[in-house]
Structure 1
């Protein structure tokens, strides 16, 4: 999708790999100034070589104090993509406090914290903005061993709506993108069992999982003025899974 983000500054979390990395590259190619946030410094180093001029911030978003220190004075941001997430797979009866806390701290709490930082800046500057939360189709369906992850994404659905309602008067739009399995490193964890992967793919009317580009195109659309009247919504990039 060819869009022009020249003159705008974007912040992308979980920027080191997968969807986040390709989102940074697409925004950079479209003229945006990009702040790339990841907890893995090596990923940021390699990304900076691919996208000269991006601002790299290395921080573990699961740590509230470290995030405040790293991003509290990030400066003007017009576009935010909350993509950082962890997938910690455990069956319900074996979920530990550590798994639960880590999942919610990274997948949901950091969305609140980073969005607060960015939205306050937008409001102080009196400018419109767009926030896109990366969710999942498992916000709406369940899978074995993904209970904690699914719960964070389901909570993100309501968080997105609540943010849209409260930030709308400030001309800040908030939406989500809900992909099916995307064959990033994270997605491959979920589909490690070939038989499970085959059956799951057959449940998709399009008989395929999503490409990273499919997700990035939806993110760019929601960030852009082409979705100027869209807020509090979620784009399903699920190959028709929820329709089957």
Structure 2
């Protein structure tokens, strides 16, 4: 009897580009992909933090390099991807949040959040896909979206709107690029504890509300995202495209 075998989670011989990789979720994703054998290009705006991350990863025995990049600069991003690619895996973790009451949203805040979360994400995925198509290679493109792409919340109108947009173009790209063997998906985390979000959890009333909404009773950790990104990047998810993987502790189950 021939038994089925689990597809490999390994990424040996593959090149991965991770944006927003100098800290938090992005750094966690970069480490996760490197742990399973990928050569990882860590991209972000903060050069010093990138260099520290790459040094630590190399010290751990992994293959990594740094790329200073602002995803909101579409032309510069396209040029960098063309010069450094093709990339078998993309994880776009670059993002921006400027939360506030929708009656008080400024045009400047709307444009800044949209330029990175939606426009930048769109054209980054396009640039990586162009490189793969030109090289005749398949790949996995992943955007770190949010549970707010499936629901919303107080003072989240602009942020939620951009993430809903990401889900929309992810489906469209998956439909178009499937014939090239390019898979396109998102990961949608709940509130994740990082250095940048730590101040959010200092409000005891807000923390209590979050823990009530998250059915598993705790906020997320970066490590909660790492397994998800390896799954979507690897052959273990070979038939998964055009969808979102919710890592929200049950928030959206209501």
Same fold (TM over 0.5): yes
The answer to whether 1:140 aligns with 2:150 is yes
Separation in 2 of the partners of 1:146 and 1:69?
Answer: 33
Cross-structure match for 1:50: 56
Give the 5 Å matches for 1:147-162: 147-162=157-172
* Alignment partner, residue 95 of structure 1: 105
Unpaired segments ≥5 residues, structure 2: 1-7
Q: Secondary structure at the match of 1:72?
A: helix
Deviations 1:108-153 (CA, angstroms, capped at 9, x unpaired): 1111111111111111111111111111111122222222111111
Given the superposition, is the C-alpha separation of residues 13 and 233 from structure 1 closer, same or farther in structure 2, using an over 3 Å criterion? same
Aligned-residue RMSD, C-alpha: 1.5
- Per the TM alignment, residue 209 of structure 1 is displaced from its structure 2 partner at its CA by 1.5
Tell me if structure 2 keeps the 8 A contact 1:87–1:186: no
Query: What TM-score results when the alignment is normalised by the length of structure 2?
Result: 0.91
- Comparing 56-65 with 149-158, greater Cα deviation is found at 56-65
Alpha-carbon shift at residue 193 of structure 1 (Å)? 2.3
TM-score (norm 1): 0.94
Aligned length: 243
**Aligned 8 A contact 2:22 2:43 in 1:** yes
Query: Does the alignment pair 1:238 with 2:253?
Result: no
CA contact (8 A) 1:130 1:172 kept: yes
The range that moved more, 141-150 or 232-241, is: 141-150
Determine the C-alpha separation between the residues in 1 that align with 2:209 and 2:126.
Answer: 40
- Indicate yes or no: 2:7 matched with 1:7: no
Q: What is the alpha-carbon distance in structure 2 between the residues aligned to residue 113 and residue 38 of structure 1?
A: 16
What is the CA–CA distance in structure 2 between the aligned matches of 1:66 and 1:122, rounded to whole Å?
A: 18
Indicate the SS of the match to 1:206. coil
Offset, 1:189: 4.7
